[in-house]
Amino acid sequence: MVFGVAGVAALYLFARTFVAAREALLSAALLAVSYHHVWFSQNARGYTGLLFWALLSSWSLCEALQSGRRRHWVLYAAGAALGVYTHLTMMFVIAAQAVVYVSALWTRRHEPWPRRWDGALLGWPLTALLILLLYALVLPQVLAGVVDEASPVGVWRHPLWTALELLRGAQIGFSGLAVAVPVLIVFTAGLVSLARTAPAAITLFVLPVVLCGVVVIGSGHHLWPRFFFFALGFAVLVLVRGTMVVAHGVARALGASGRPLAATGPAAALVLLAAAALALPGAYAPKQDYLGALTFIETHRVPGDAVATVGLATFPYQRFYKIDWQSVNSVESLQRLRARSRRTWVVYTLPLHLEAVLPDVMATIRRDFATVRIFTGSLSGGAIVVARTEGALPAQRERPSTPTDDTTVVGYHP
C-alpha cells in the first residue's frame, strides 16, 4: 500500500520531466484511481514496489542526464538495484534505461558535456554492485528458480492467452468493451504524440515491455500479465496525453478556438478519470471468495455430508481457515470419500490448473457432480466453485485382474 501511494508521487516526478504540470497531475490522478493499481496495492507482493522503483529510477536517470549531478546517478543506482531486488523483471527496465543513456551520448556528442561518462563509470557499475550485494546470499536459489521453473498449464505460456487477459483486464478497468476500444484509439494517439515530443519516455515504456515478452516467451516460462505491471505508470502518462490530443483535435475540427479549445484536453482527461473511477469499487471485492464458499457450505451441509477440497483450493482451507475438510488428489480418494458419505461436496478453483495437474479428478467432478454455486472474485479465472453429488457411492468391490464387458469397476482405467 505504501509503495502504491508513493508510486503516484513518483509518476508525477517522472512526468514533469517530459510534460507540463497540469498533464503530470492528471496522470498521477489517473494512476491513483486506477483499478489495477489499487488492486495490486492490496496484495502482499512486490509489483507496486516494482512500479515505484521503475518510475523513480527513470526520473533519476533523466535528472542525471540533464543536470550532470552525480547524486542523481547514485540515486538511480539505488532505485534500479532495489527494483531488481523487488522483482527480476526490473532488468528489462534497466536495459531500456541503458539504451536511453547511450542514445544521449550519441545525440549530444557535439555538445559540451563534462560528465558524460558518469553513467558508464558510476551509474551502472554501482547498480551492478548493489544488485550483487542484495542477492549474494540467495543467488544460487534465484538462478535455480529461474532456470528450473516448469509450468503445469501449457496455455499460461502462450502469448495469445496473455493478450486476451490484458484485454479482459482493460475491460474491467474501463467498464466494458464500449469504453475499451476508444481507449485503445486514444492510447495510440498518445504514443504517437509522445514519440515526437519525448522519445525517451516512449523508449522507457515500450522497450522493457517488448524485451520482457520476448525473453519470457523464449524461455518457455509463464507469461503472466502482471509481469508488465512495471509499465503501468508510463502507460497512464501515454493515455492522458492521447486523451488531450484527441479531444483537442476533435474540438478544433468542430471550430472551437481560444480558451474553449485549450480547455477541451483537461476536460476530456477528467472524463477519463471519472470512467476509471467507476470501476474502482470492484478492486475492493474479494480476490477469491473462499470465505463466501465456506459460509455457504457450512450453512447448507447436513449430518452425513462430506466436504472435499481439490487442487489449489486445499491450501487456504487447511492452512488459513483450518477447516477439517478432506483433501483429495486422486479419483480413488474421491470415490472412497463418496462411498462413506450421504452427500459429497467438492470445492475447487482455477480449473485450468486443475485440468492440467489432476485431469482424471476434474473429469470425474464434471461427470458426477453438479455445480451448486460459483463465488466470483476479482482474480481472473479464480472463482471458487462449489459442486455436490447426491447419494453415497456404492462401496468399491475388489478390482478383478481382467474385467469383463459387463463388469463396472469404479476407478478402473483400462
Q: How far apart are CA 350 and CA 353, in angstroms?
A: 6
> Who contacts 298 (Cβ-Cβ below 8 Å, separation ≥6)?
none
Q: Where are the alpha helices (DSSP H) in 174-257?
A: 177-197, 199-219, 232-253
pTM above 0.85, yes or no: no
Give the residues of the chain that fall short of pLDDT 50: 175, 396-414
The pLDDT score that the predictor gives to residue 270 is 94
The pLDDT score that the predictor gives to residue 178 is 63
- The ranges of the chain annotated as CATH 3.40.190 are 290-390
211 neighbors 72 (Cβ within 8 angstroms): no
130 neighbors 77 (Cβ within 8 angstroms): yes
74 neighbors 130 (Cβ within 8 angstroms): no
411 neighbors 395 (Cβ within 8 angstroms): no
Q: How far apart are CA 24 and CA 233, in angstroms?
A: 11
Please choose, from the candidates 48, 101, 97, the residue with its C-alpha nearest in 3D space to the C-alpha of residue 207. Answer: 97
The pLDDT score that the predictor gives to residue 380 is 82
Q: How far apart are CA 190 and CA 236, in angstroms?
A: 10
Q: How far apart are CA 40 and CA 11, in angstroms?
A: 16
Q: How far apart are CA 40 and CA 172, in angstroms?
A: 14
The pLDDT score that the predictor gives to residue 407 is 30
- Nearest 5°: the CA angle 5, 10, 16 is 135
Q: How far apart are CA 371 and CA 159, in angstroms?
A: 31
The pLDDT score that the predictor gives to residue 146 is 65
- Radius of gyration for the alpha carbons in the chain, expressed in angstroms and rounded: 27
The pLDDT score that the predictor gives to residue 256 is 86
- What is the CATH number assigned to the segment(s) 290-390? 3.40.190
Inter-CA distances, 151 with 47, 65, 158, 337, Å: 21, 42, 11, 30
The pLDDT score that the predictor gives to residue 257 is 86
Please choose, from the candidates 312, 317, 393, 325, the residue with its C-alpha nearest in 3D space to the C-alpha of residue 352. Answer: 312
312, three cell numbers: 489449489
- What is Dmax (Cα atoms) for the chain? 92
The pLDDT score that the predictor gives to residue 161 is 54
- Give the 3-state secondary structure of residue 399: coil
> Who contacts 101 (Cβ-Cβ below 8 Å, separation ≥6)?
61, 65, 119, 120, 123
